[in-house]
Amino acid sequence: MTFPLDRPNHVVICPDGTRRYAIKQGLTIEEAYKVSAQRLLEVIQWLIDEHAIPNVTVYLTHPSTHITRPQGQLQALYRVFADFLAQCNIFCSEFDIQLQAVGELELLPISLYTNLKHLQAATIHHHNLLTLLIGYSARREILSAADQCPPGASFADFASFLWVQLPVHLILRTGGVPQIGDMLLLQSIEARLFFINKLFPELTRQDIDWVLAEFAKCNRCGGEDLERRRTLQ
């Protein structure tokens, strides 16, 4: 896999820290989710529209979120996600974005599942790609691919059964936790990892600019230090 010289082709955002932000700011969890949803649209716009990155993936929920999260928090999350999808209808059209969702989507309430499917169909002819990981687990993705892949297949053949096909060039996780967890494990083998010590609603355009500048600087240096982990204080 070859990295683009100046910018990544595929960026993954792990927007961690919303519940901590609610406590920090004295907000209800639903109010904090709304702030994060608005910031997420801004981040996607900065990446796709301002930096011409054609593929953006956002890790929204793990399967356990839909099972173990308190019902009050979960219902607040679903209400905000419904509003987010309504905004995406116009947003995707404005910025030429195809939306796709992967994971165990059946964990969503039926109304959200239906709206999500309609939005995917409505944006299918757009050129940039926004992938939402919902009820997603890389380990379950790998097991699913293993179940479908014939014995003796090459890695390329195996990878064709993964839910997310594109290799990841850059992962950005907020919240100060320096790990990628159960997320796109095979796709991220050569990704550069950036961990920002801010809660997601506090992420700024300057943070995005810095991360992408660091990515370009790393690549212009000839690709050394692939395992480097950058932390923005």
Closest by CA position to 16, among listed 214, 179, 163: 179
- For residue 211, count CB atoms less than 10 angstroms from its CB and return exposed for 0-12, middle for 13-18, buried for 19 or more: buried
Strands 192-196 and 10-14: unpaired
Give the pLDDT score at 5: 59
DSSP state of 98: E
Half-sphere exposure of 4 (CA within 13 A, CB side): 17
Give the pLDDT score at 17: 97
Give the pLDDT score at 167: 94
How far is the C-alpha of 40 from the C-alpha of 133, rounded, in Å? Answer: 14
Give the pLDDT score at 220: 63
Closest by CA position to 169, among listed 156, 146, 187: 187
Give the pLDDT score at 218: 80
Give the pLDDT score at 6: 78
Per-10-residue mean pLDDT, the chain, length 233: 70 97 98 98 97 97 95 96 96 97 97 97 97 97 95 91 95 95 94 96 97 86 48 41
Model confidence over 74-103: pLDDT tens digits? Answer: 999 999 999 999 999 999 999 999 999 999
DSSP state of 36: H
Contact 211, 172 (CB under 8 A): yes
